[in-house]
Amino acid sequence: MGSRRAVEAFCRGVDSHPNSGLWYEIQPTSSRFFFANSQQSKCTEKLVIFMFDHGWNTQFTEFDIVEEGDVSDVPLLMSLPQVRNLGFNLNSLQRRLTCPVHALA
C-alpha cells in the first residue's frame, strides 16, 4: 500500500525519467486496510508498476492507494512476498536496495 501523495511522487519520478524502464497504470480495486489504532481505510484505486526483467519479460507489482496519510506516514510499503518475488536485496550496511529484475537508478 501507499499514500496518494507517495504514489503521486513516484509517478512524477517515473514520468521525469522516461528511459528508466518503469511504467505504471492506476487501476480500480476494492480493498480495505485495518490499522493498529482501530482506523480503517477503503481503497478504490491501485498503482501497478511494470518493468522488464533481464529476459525482457514484463514483471509487475501492485500498491493499493490509501487516501489517508502523507509520504512520510504511508510511503510505498511492500510486503515480504512482493520483495521476494521481485528478488530485492537489502544491504543495510550500505543502505541500498537492489533488484536483479531491474536496476533502479
Q: What angle do CA 25, 29, 33 make, to 5 degrees?
A: 120
Query: 83 in a domain, yes or no?
Result: no
Query: 104 in a domain, yes or no?
Result: no
* Residue corresponding to grid cell 541500498: 96
Query: 98 in a domain, yes or no?
Result: no
Query: 84 in a domain, yes or no?
Result: no
Query: 87 in a domain, yes or no?
Result: no
Domain count, the chain: 1
pLDDT band, very low/low/confident/very high, at 3 (cuts 50, 70, 90): confident
pTM exceeds cut of 0.85: no
Query: 49 in a domain, yes or no?
Result: yes
Domain that holds residue 26: 2-77
pLDDT in tens, 28-63: 999 988 777 777 788 999 999 998 877 888 888 899
- The helix (run of H) or strand (run of E) holding residue 55 is none
Query: 105 in a domain, yes or no?
Result: no
Query: Residue length, the chain?
Result: 105
